[in-house]
């Protein structure tokens, strides 16, 4: 089984999900559990840090598609940061840059949420 670690931490009002390893059909349920926990706790501002993610499959991509509407309907969003080029290319190929915001750095993504709260 592929190695996958998902970690959840809070930075102010923003929840940051750190991904490490291989996100595929076998490991996607672990990420779904994190999103279910956030929805249950009414935490809808999410940054996903991809710094240590090596691979993502369509099942992994599907997790983000499944939750983005819930987050946005509750005045939140899912923003992506620190993505390696090979992982970004998969998102780009499938048109995700039209649907999601991508940031080079986690801090930029968090700051974007903070700016939106002030306006």
Which residues 6+ apart lie within 8 Å of 105 measured at CB? Answer: 81, 82
Give the whole-angstrom CA distance, residue 115 versus residue 13: 12
The tens digit of pLDDT for each residue in 79-97 reads 999 999 999 999 999 999 9
Percent of the chain at pLDDT > 90 equals 93
Q: Average per-residue pLDDT in the chain?
A: 95
* Predicted pLDDT at 117: 78
Task: Please state the pTM of the whole predicted model.
Answer: 0.94
The tens digit of pLDDT for each residue in 47-74 reads 999 999 999 999 999 999 999 999 999 9
């Amino acid at each position: 089984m592929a190695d996958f670690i998902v970690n959840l931490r809070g930075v102010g009002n923003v929840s940051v999900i750190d991904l490490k390893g291989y996100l595929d059909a076998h490991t996607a349920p672990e990420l779904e559990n994190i999103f279910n926990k956030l929805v249950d706790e009414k935490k809808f501002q999410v940054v996903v840090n991809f710094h240590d993610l090596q691979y993502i499959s369509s099942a992994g991509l599907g997790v983000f598609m499944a939750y983005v509407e819930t987050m946005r309907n509750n005045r939140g969003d899912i923003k992506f940061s620190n993505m390696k080029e090979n992982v970004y290319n998969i998102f780009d190929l499938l048109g995700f840059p039209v649907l999601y915001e991508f940031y080079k750095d986690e801090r930029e993504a968090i700051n974007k949420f903070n700016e939106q709260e002030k306006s």
